[in-house]
Amino acid sequence: MQRLRQKSASWEIYSGLRARPPLVARADGRGFKSILAGCQKPYDAGFASHMASSASSLFEDSGICPALAFTFSDEINLAFLTAPFGGRVEKIDSLVAGFLSASLSLQMGRPVSMDCRIIPLCRSEIREYLIERQNEAWRNHVFSYGFYMLQEEGLDPSQAMERMRGMREPEIHEMLFQRGTNLAKTPSWERRGIMIYRDEGRVLQDWQLPLFSSEEGKELLARVFRCAEND
């Protein structure tokens, strides 16, 4: 039996693949279009709360300790300054995807699945990565408001998509503004995402984030990373 176990272990693939820290584990929702069919459009605060709560529960109950989580839309980014499981990619991916899928399923009352991938970074690149994801949150924000506004005006989803095809971000922004929607006045969490982190033993959610590209955002991330290193 021992020999069989050793042999079966040798058949495993990728089990020895490791990533050096720091790194980001990014979990994305799978098949969320149907899952979110009954949610408020273009944004649903209840679903956003479920995502943030799932990330919070990972800090509290998973046994792994990211420095922070950043979530928007259907993705959760977990930044690690030290790698759990010695950086074993297969182990990190499976635990993060499995835990977040289970937590979100319990909160939503239906099966939900997420996948996960690893992004190895240098320490100086973590902020750059978060800036890029926050920029993506803004792009999603502009597109989502435009897409659903056109549907409110009578277009079906395929027509709305065709109408927006090729439109630049400023054009969508202006189209919305002319119809009475000022995207700069929408809730901060829609535009900039939500961050979860630990401070003096407490897991906190920040729904009023500054731009990570700003000096305020730079100082916030530096403070969060210091807390993570001293925790």
C-alpha–C-alpha distance, residues 166 and 139, integer Å: 14
- What residues make up the domain containing 215? 16-126+188-230
Could you tell me if residue 141 is inside a domain?
no
Could you tell me if residue 136 is inside a domain?
no
In the chain, DSSP assigns E strands to 23-30, 68-72, 75-80, 113-120, 194-199, 202-206
Could you tell me if residue 60 is inside a domain?
yes
Could you tell me if residue 10 is inside a domain?
no
Question: pTM higher than 0.85, yes or no?
Answer: yes
Could you tell me if residue 4 is inside a domain?
no
Partnered with residue 21 across adjacent β-strands are none
Could you tell me if residue 158 is inside a domain?
no
Query: Domain count of the chain?
Result: 1
Could you tell me if residue 139 is inside a domain?
no
One digit per residue, pLDDT tens: the chain, 231 residues?
556 555 556 677 777 799 999 999 999 998 888 888 888 999 999 999 999 999 999 999 999 999 999 999 999 999 999 999 999 999 999 999 999 999 999 999 999 999 999 999 999 999 999 999 999 999 999 999 999 999 999 999 999 999 999 899 999 999 999 999 999 999 999 999 999 999 988 999 999 999 999 999 999 999 999 999 887
Closest CA to 146 of 125, 122, 123, 174: 174
Question: For the domain that residue 35 is a member of, what is the CATH number?
Answer: 3.30.70.3000
